[in-house]
Amino acid sequence: MKVMGQGEGRLFTDPDANRAREYFRGKSRALKSKLTTVSEAVAGLIRDGDYVAVGGFGTNRIPTALLHEIVRQRKKGLGLSGHTATHDFQILAAGGCINRCDVAYVVGLEARGLSRNSRRLFESGGLEVTEWTNAALAWRYRAAAMGVPFIPARTMLGTDTFRKSAAKEIECPYTGEKLVALPALYPDVALVHVHRADVYGNCQVDGIMVADQELTRAAKKVIVTCERLIPNDEIRKNPEKTAITYFTVDAVVEVPFGSYPGNMAGEYFSDEEHLREWLAAEENAEAFRAFLDKYIYGTKDFNEYLQLCGGLAKMQKLRALELLSVPKGGE
Amino acid sequence: MADRYNSMELMICLAARYLEDGSTVVVGTGAPCAAAMLAQKTCSPNLMVMFEAGGAGPILPSMPISVGDSRTFYKGLFAGSMAEIMDACQRGMVDYTFLGGAQIDPYGNINSTVIGEHARPKVRFPGSGGANDLASLCWRTMMITPQDAKRFVPKCDFVTSPGYLTGPGAREAAGLPPGTGPYKVITQLAVIGFDETTKRMKVEAMHPGVTREDVIKNTGFELLWADDVFVSAPPTEEELRILRDEVDPYRYIIGRG
């Protein structure tokens, strides 16, 4: 196949499908309980230097408890897939945990503004960056999930986004058209938060999947946190609801309100007040250190963080917001 | 400008009128989403509104804060994945999208990545997100953006998302799907289209009270002008009522006008 051009960026992960197959050959297929704790999952499955990818979408259905624990355990030198990584990127950047990033969307928190600390990381040259797009990363997961080394697409062409990527331009063997060849992305570890899972790791999700299905099939190891553990019988009653299959999953932890301060569809809305507090704390280095000490380093687990943020009363309020059951002006 | 409406309200109303009934549009948060909601409640009840994170066809109860929050598929037709929405764009099923950026050049190329050197930027912005994909794959790309000489530049520091690149034929030569590209740029001053021959920005309409000098002063490059530049039709009372009472009652977006 004719290669017509190539981006200058570094490819952080190996797209070789045969090497990935060798890894997956050795992965357990046993239907056994993978129930564990947040701290054990992070300590046991994430090594310094690993390349990690996070499910959900920035402040929606993100595995906050796992992200906090990565910071608390002071993991270093991680690579990150920045597929709309907003609050998730903000947390890992705050902990100084990442040194390289495939960027599609980072630094911003969408309509809420930009994270000053995350920007500093880029502007100080403290991060090695390869540029992509959201579709490119989602399709790169898909290629890995399919077990092929690349997938052709028609995005990124002709732009500096391509020039700073690690993609290649190829000639279509059928039509002769120029296409982009997106290399399969096999993360070392995927971190996802779902609505329900059984102890084996069969997962159900309400609402949008974002890229979680492709991502969990692409990753070598998968850590799942869930709002609720459910009996295996519940999974078997509605197998069409199984979004993630047990044999891709390595660890399962029940973490109620595990996406807080993010939104969890049908469960609770995002805590805009707390997200604003984060952004404001970043304006001052000393204040930000105190903020992180208070909420992450100084808490022993996610429940303590939830308590600090207002506990059950706050969660009930966010639930009312999510379910649109707050009377106008009752906020 | 009349006190009856502010510039954000005007831009949203103008944008909404371009979204014809029965078409598909991928939007982000903010003004584009407000325009899509307004279109649904006025000219285009069957407008299919899609969000890149996977939500499509919602009956939006309020303005989403994130393109992946639960409002984006509230009473929706579909709650799927990023890849499925982007597949639809790549397949040729999405008519419109709206983008914005820190810099835009005469060909409608957009920068939302960096100012300065890429490896050690003076300012780092979020990056493409889905913008490059949408600009590459949707049929018509629109922009709702403030216009000033710092944003409307002769050349972007970094081309995050493709407009007409370097001019006629450049998108096709790069391998982008034929027939796609920037369509309208809606600013607080004017509605700007793209010249058929040169693929450069061409002013089509100026808003009430705006002069050519105002537009020229706020553009960092030479604009083309249509032979029959017209005055934008201001928002109707009905559009303003729906925008203020139903689309954005808390003035999250229109409060910025």
Q: Looking at CA atoms only, how far is residue A126 from chain B in angstroms?
A: 9
Report angle CA A221, B55, B81 to the nearest 5 degrees: 30
List, for residues B72-93, the tens digit of each pLDDT value: 999 999 999 999 999 999 999 9
Across the interface, whether the CB atoms of A169 and B175 are under 8 A apart is answered yes
Q: How confident is the model at residue A106 (pLDDT cuts 50, 70, 90)?
A: very high
What is the rounded average pLDDT of the residues A53-67?
A: 97
Give the model's pLDDT for residue B1. 47
- For residue B161, the 8-state DSSP code is B
Over 90: is that where the pLDDT of A28 sits? yes
Give the model's pLDDT for residue B184. 98
What is the rounded average pLDDT of the residues A28-44?
A: 98
Radius of gyration of chain A (CA): 20
List, for residues A206-243, the tens digit of each pLDDT value: 999 999 999 999 999 999 999 999 999 999 999 999 99
Across the interface, whether the CB atoms of A155 and B136 are under 8 A apart is answered yes
Of A279, A272, A213, the closest CA to residue A248 belongs to: A213
Q: How confident is the model at residue B62 (pLDDT cuts 50, 70, 90)?
A: confident
If DSSP states are collapsed to H, E and C, what string results for chain A? Answer: CCEEEECCCCCCCCCCHHHHHHHHHCCCCCCCCCECCHHHHHHHHCCCCCEEEECCCCCECCCHHHHHHHHHCCCCCEEEEECCCCHHHHHHHHCCCEEEEEECCCCEECECCECHHHHHHHHCCCCEEEECCHHHHHHHHHHHHHCCCEEEECCCCCCHHHHCCCCEEEECCCCCCEEEEEECCCCCEEEEEEEEECCCCCEECCCCCECHHHHHHHCCEEEEEEEEECCHHHHHHCHHHEEECHHHCCEEEECCCCCCCCEECCCECCCHHHHHHHHHHCCCHHHHHHHHHHHHHCCCCHHHHHHHCCHHHHHHHHHHHHCCCCCCCCC
Over 70: is that where the pLDDT of B2 sits? no
Helix axis angle, A134-146 to B82-91, nearest 10°: 100
- Distance (Å, whole) CA B226 – CA B204: 5
- Distance (Å, whole) CA A68 – CA A71: 5
Over 80: is that where the pLDDT of A330 sits? no
Q: Which residues of B are catalytic?
A: 52
> Which pair of structure tokens corresponds to residue B89?
């764009």
Of A184, A118, A191, the closest CA to residue A151 belongs to: A184
Over 90: is that where the pLDDT of B113 sits? yes
Across the interface, whether the CB atoms of B123 and A123 are under 8 A apart is answered yes
| Pick among B26, B50, B66 to test the A interface (most A CBs inside 10 A) | B66
Chain B CB contacts of A136 under 8 Å are 133
Task: Tell me, yes or no, if B86 comes closer than 8 A to chain A by beta carbon.
Answer: yes
- Distance (Å, whole) CA A281 – CA A274: 10
Residues 6+ positions from A103 with CB-CB distance below 8 Å: A82, A129, A130, A131, A132, B127
Lowest mean pLDDT among A184-188, B117-121, B194-198: B117-121
Count chain A–chain B contacts defined by CB atoms under 8 A. 202
Query: Could you say which of B72, B123, B175 has the minimum Cβ distance to residue A157?
Result: B175
Phi then psi dihedrals of residue A152, to 5 deg: -80, 150
Mean residue pLDDT across chain A: 96
Task: Tell me, yes or no, if A153 comes closer than 8 A to chain B by beta carbon.
Answer: yes
What is the rounded average pLDDT of the residues B220-238?
A: 98
Give the model's pLDDT for residue A1. 80
Q: Looking at CA atoms only, how far is residue A44 from chain B in angstroms?
A: 30
Residues 189 through 248 of chain B touching chain A, CB cutoff 8 Å: none
Chain B CB contacts of A106 under 8 Å are 126-127
- Distance (Å) of CA B216 to CA A1, B149, B166, B187, B232: 49, 9, 22, 13, 17
CB atoms within 10 A of CB A199: 18
Q: How confident is the model at residue A331 (pLDDT cuts 50, 70, 90)?
A: very low
- Distance (Å, whole) CA B257 – CA B250: 13
Over 80: is that where the pLDDT of B171 sits? yes
List, for residues A280-313, the tens digit of each pLDDT value: 999 999 999 999 999 999 999 999 999 999 999 9
- Asked if B122 and B173 touch (Cβ cutoff 8 Å), the reply is no
ipTM of the complex: 0.97
Task: Tell me, yes or no, if A331 comes closer than 8 A to chain B by beta carbon.
Answer: no
Over 60: is that where the pLDDT of A329 sits? no
To 10 degrees, the CA torsion angle through A76, A82, A84, A89? Answer: 20
CB atoms within 10 A of CB A60: 28
Across the interface, whether the CB atoms of B81 and A210 are under 8 A apart is answered yes
Over 70: is that where the pLDDT of A80 sits? yes
Give the model's pLDDT for residue A328. 58
- Distance (Å, whole) CA A19 – CA A26: 11
Across the interface, whether the CB atoms of A159 and B80 are under 8 A apart is answered no
Phi then psi dihedrals of residue A20, to 5 deg: -65, -40
| Pick among A60, A160, A274, A331 to test the B interface (most B CBs inside 10 A) | A160
What is the rounded average pLDDT of the residues B5-14?
A: 97
Across the interface, whether the CB atoms of B124 and A107 are under 8 A apart is answered yes
Give the model's pLDDT for residue B51. 98
